[in-house]
Amino acid sequence: MRTAAAFATPVTPASAAAPAPHARLEGVTRVYPARSGGDEVHALGPISFDLRQGEFFSVVGPSGCGKSTLLDVLSGLAKPTEGTVTFEGAPVDGKVPDGVGVVFQEDASFPWLSVEDNVAFGLRRAGTDAAETRRRVEFAIGFMGLRDFRRAYPSQLSGGMRQRVCIARTLVMQPRLILLDEPFGALDQQTRLLMGDELLRLWRETGATVMLITHALDEANLLSDRIGVMSARPGRFIEVVETGWDRERDSSLAERSEFGAVTSRLWSLLRGESLRAMGQGQAAEKRA
Amino acid sequence: MSLAGFLRTLLIVGAVAALEIACRTGAIKPTMVVAPSAMALGVVEALRDPEFWRHFGVSVQAVAIAMVIAVTGGFCIGFMLTRVPPLRRAVSPFLASYYSIPHIAFYPLLIVIFGLGRTPLIFLATMFAMVAMILATMAGLDRVPAVLAKTARVHRLGLVDEILRVRLPAAAPHILSGLKLAVAYSFIGVIAGEFIMSTEGIGHEIAYAYDNFNNQRMYALILIVLTLVTSFNMSVFAWERRMLKRRGL
C-alpha cells in the first residue's frame, strides 16, 4: 500500500533554526454587529498565537466562548474585525486559502452524491485530471475504511461513516492545514475514540498541521501536542498546555498516569471559565 | 403487486363498476353522467377524429409554453428574491396572498388586451403557475444547510459553481415539488381559459359538447384530459421518488 507520506505535500520550514509558524493570528478579534434590540457581541479575542508547522493543536473552552469563530477566522470563512491572520506567510482575508481543509461538526456530506462522488467533489471542481482524481479518491476511500461503501449514498450510512466521508473529501485535497470543528461531537463515545486514533494516523502520515476544536478534555489531551484553553466569551487563550506525547501515540495513552494529570490541569483551568460561561447564558436568558 | 397497489386498483375498479351499474339501472340519468362504457366508446371515437387531434395539439402547445415560461421564470425570480432580501420582504405579502386571487376572472380583461388568440390563455396559465414555482424555489434555497454552503467556500467554489454544484442540488426536492404544481396549474389555466372563451382547444371542445348536450363526448374528453394530466404528473412524481429515496427521504 502506498503510504500517505508520499501522498502529502511536504512543506519545508523557512529556516531550520526558527521555523516560521504555519499559521499566525495577531491581535485578532471578532465582533458581531448588534441585531435588532440587542447589543453587539464580542465573540473573540484579542487573540495572538502561532500554529507550528506539523503540530496537532487542540482548542478547548466553555460553550459559546468563540471556538468556532476562531476556526472561521483562521480558515478565512469569516473576516476578523481587527487584527491579521496569515497562512504560510500570506494574509488570509475572508477567503479560504489553497491548502486549508475544514471538517465541520454538522453532517456536510452531499446527499445527492455517492460516497465516491462526494470524496471526488473538490478534485473535480479544481479540474484535477481524471487519473489523478481516481488515484487520490481511491487512496482516501481506503484510508478512511470506506471501500465497501463507495457506491452508497450518505443516507445509507451512519453518522460516523458520513463524517469519514467528509474527512476523506478533505483529505483528497492534500491540505497542509486541517481544521476540525468538533468533528466527532455528534458521535457516540466508542466511535469517537476510534475516530481519534484514525485522526492521529492521518496526521502522522500526511504531515499536515491540525487544529481540532473539541469540548472533550480527554480527547484534546489524547490527540494533541499542545492544547489552547480558552476563556469564556470573548474567547482568549488563558493558557496553552504542552502535553509532550510521542508522535507515535494512540488511545492506549489514556492508561498512563501523566495523562490524568494533564486532563486535571485542563479542567482546573476551565472550571472557573465554564461557570462564568454558564452565568453569561443565564444572564442572557433573564434579559430575554 | 403491493397491498397498497392492490387496494388502489380495487378502489378504482369498484368505483367504475358502481358507476356503470348505477347508470345502467337508471339510478343516474344519462343527461347527468354517462356510463363508463359509453365514456370509453366516446374516447375511442374522439381519438379517431382528426379534428380532436387539432384541438388537442393546440391545448398541449399552450400548456407547454406556459409551463416552460412559468418554471424557468419562476425559478429565476425565486432565485433573485433570495439574493435580494429587501426586495423579497417587499413582495412577500403579495406572494403569500397570491393564490386567493381568482385568476380566471381576469381572463376577459386579458382578451381585451391581447385579443382572442392563444396569448391571453398562455398568459393566464403562466401567471397561475409561476408563483408556485417562485415560492418553491425560495423555500428550497432557504433550506440549504449552512454547512453545505460553507463546504462550497472551503472548496473555493466561485458563486456560479456554488449555486450550480451545491445550492441547487441541495434545494432540488423543494424545487421539484414546485415544478409539479406548476405543471398542474399550467393545465388548469389553459383548459379553464378555453372553457370560458376560446374558439379552439380541448377546453373549448368540452364546453361545446356540454352546450350541445353531447354528454358522451364531454365525458370522453374530460377522461382524456384526466389521463394526460395524471400520467404527466406521475412521471414527474416517479422521478422525484427516485431522487428522494436516494437521499433517504
* B contacts of A133 (beta carbons < 8 Å): none
Whether residues A140 and A217 fall in one domain: no
What is the pLDDT, as a whole number, of residue A288?
57
Domain boundary pick from A174, A200, A224: A174
How far is CA A215 from its chain centroid? 12
Across A214-234, average pLDDT: 89
What is the pLDDT, as a whole number, of residue B107?
86
Q: Which residue of B has its CA nearest to A156?
A: B248
> Least CB-CB distance to A153: which of B150, B156, B247?
B247
Q: Which of residues 119-138 of B touch A (CB under 8 A)?
A: none
- CA-CA distance, B206 to B42, in Å (whole number)? 12
Across B122-139, average pLDDT: 93
Q: Is B165 on the interface with A (CB under 8 A)?
A: yes
Cell 364546453: give the residue.
B207
Q: Is B148 on the interface with A (CB under 8 A)?
A: yes
More confident residue, A250 or B49: B49
**A2 in any annotated domain:** no
| SS (HEC) of chain A | CCCHHHHCCCCCCCCCCCCCCCEEEEEEEEEECCCCCCCCEEEEEEEEEEECCCCEEEEECCCCCCHHHHHHHHHCCCCCCEEEEEECCEECCCCCCCCEEEECCCCCCCCCCCHHHHHHHHHHHHCCCHHHHHHHHHHHHHHCCCHHHCCCCHHHCCHHHHHHHHHHHHHCCCCCEEEEECCCCCCCHHHHHHHHHHHHHHHHHHCCEEEEECCCHHHHHHHCCEEEEECCCCECEEEEEECCCCCCCCHHHHHCHHHHHHHHHHHHHHHHHHHHHHHHHHHHHHHC
Q: If residue B115 lies in a helix (H) or strand (E), which one and from where to where?
A: none
Domain boundary pick from A174, A204, A226: A174
Report how far apart, in Å, the C-alpha atoms of B113 and of each of A165, B76, B102, B200 are.
58, 26, 18, 19
Model confidence over B60-73: pLDDT tens digits?
Answer: 999 999 999 999 99
Whether residues B146 and B206 fall in one domain: yes
**A212 in any annotated domain:** yes
Residues in chain B, total: 249
**A8 in any annotated domain:** no
> Least CB-CB distance to B154: which of A75, A154, A156?
A75
More confident residue, A65 or A174: A174
ipTM score here?
A: 0.83
Q: What percent of chain A has pLDDT over 70?
A: 90
What is the pLDDT, as a whole number, of residue A285?
65
With CB atoms and an 8 Å threshold, state whether A110 touches B147. no
- CA-CA distance, B98 to A150, in Å (whole number)? 46
- Choose among A235, A233, A237: nearest CA to A269: A237
Name the band, by pLDDT with cuts 50, 70 and 90, for residue A287: low
Q: Is A121 on the interface with B (CB under 8 A)?
A: yes
Whether residues B11 and B50 fall in one domain: no
Whether residues B71 and B116 fall in one domain: yes
Whether residues B141 and B229 fall in one domain: yes
* A contacts of B248 (beta carbons < 8 Å): 111, 153-156
Euclidean distance between the first and the last CA atom of chain A, given in angstroms as a whole number: 58
Whether residues A141 and A222 fall in one domain: no
Examine the pLDDT at A17 and tell me if it is beyond 50.
no
Whether residues A91 and A186 fall in one domain: yes
Q: Is A102 on the interface with B (CB under 8 A)?
A: yes
Tell me the pLDDT of chain B averaged across its residues. Answer: 91
Q: Which residue of A has its CA nearest to B162?
A: A125
Examine the pLDDT at A78 and tell me if it is beyond 50.
yes
Whether residues B27 and B45 fall in one domain: no
* A contacts of B161 (beta carbons < 8 Å): 125
Whether residues A279 and A186 fall in one domain: yes
More confident residue, A169 or B116: A169
**A3 in any annotated domain:** no
Whether residues A191 and A87 fall in one domain: yes
Examine the pLDDT at A10 and tell me if it is beyond 50.
no
Q: Tell me if residue B212 falls in helix, strand or coil.
A: coil
* B contacts of A107 (beta carbons < 8 Å): 147
Model confidence over A117-152: pLDDT tens digits?
Answer: 999 999 999 889 999 999 999 999 998 889 999 999
Query: CB of A232 within 8 A of CB of A273?
Result: yes
Q: Which residue of A has its CA nearest to B147?
A: A108
Name the band, by pLDDT with cuts 50, 70 and 90, for residue A6: very low
Distance from CA of A101 to the nearest CA of B (A): 7
What is the pLDDT, as a whole number, of residue A284?
65
Whether residues B9 and B111 fall in one domain: no
Q: Is A175 on the interface with B (CB under 8 A)?
A: no
β-pair partners for A60: A229
Report how far apart, in Å, the C-alpha atoms of A225 and of each of A161, A220, A241 are.
26, 9, 9
Q: What percent of chain B has pLDDT over 70?
A: 100
β-pair partners for A178: A101, A210
C-alpha angle A228/A231/A234, rounded to 5°? 120
Examine the pLDDT at B204 and tell me if it is beyond 50.
yes
The domain total for chain A is: 2
Report how far apart, in Å, the C-alpha atoms of B61 and of each of B56, B66, B129, B191 are.
8, 9, 16, 12
CATH number for A282: 3.40.50.300
Whether residues B11 and B65 fall in one domain: no
Whether residues B5 and B91 fall in one domain: no
Q: Is A167 on the interface with B (CB under 8 A)?
A: no
Whether residues A170 and A190 fall in one domain: no
The domain total for chain B is: 2
What is the pLDDT, as a whole number, of residue A5?
43
Quick one: cell of A13? 520550514
Q: Is B153 on the interface with A (CB under 8 A)?
A: yes
> Least CB-CB distance to B169: which of A108, A110, A154?
A110
Q: Domain limits at B26?
A: 1-33
Among the listed ranges A185-189, B221-225, B230-234, which one has the minimum average pLDDT value? A185-189
Whether residues B20 and B53 fall in one domain: no
Q: Domain limits at A147?
A: 109-174
Whether residues A62 and A186 fall in one domain: yes
- CA-CA distance, A149 to A165, in Å (whole number)? 10
Whether residues B110 and B192 fall in one domain: yes
Name the band, by pLDDT with cuts 50, 70 and 90, for residue A16: very low
* B contacts of A154 (beta carbons < 8 Å): 247-248
What is the pLDDT, as a whole number, of residue A286?
65
Quick one: cell of B243? 431522487
Domain boundary pick from A150, A174, A198: A174
Across A263-278, average pLDDT: 83
Query: CB of B176 within 8 A of CB of B235?
Result: no
What is the pLDDT, as a whole number, of residue B20?
94
**A6 in any annotated domain:** no
**A168 in any annotated domain:** yes
Between chain A and chain B, the number of residue pairs with CB atoms below 8 A apart is 61
Report how far apart, in Å, the C-alpha atoms of A129 and of each of A124, A135, A138, A166, A213 are.
8, 10, 14, 21, 34
Q: Is B172 on the interface with A (CB under 8 A)?
A: yes
> Least CB-CB distance to B247: which of A102, A155, A170?
A155
Q: Which residue of B has its CA nearest to A119?
A: B155
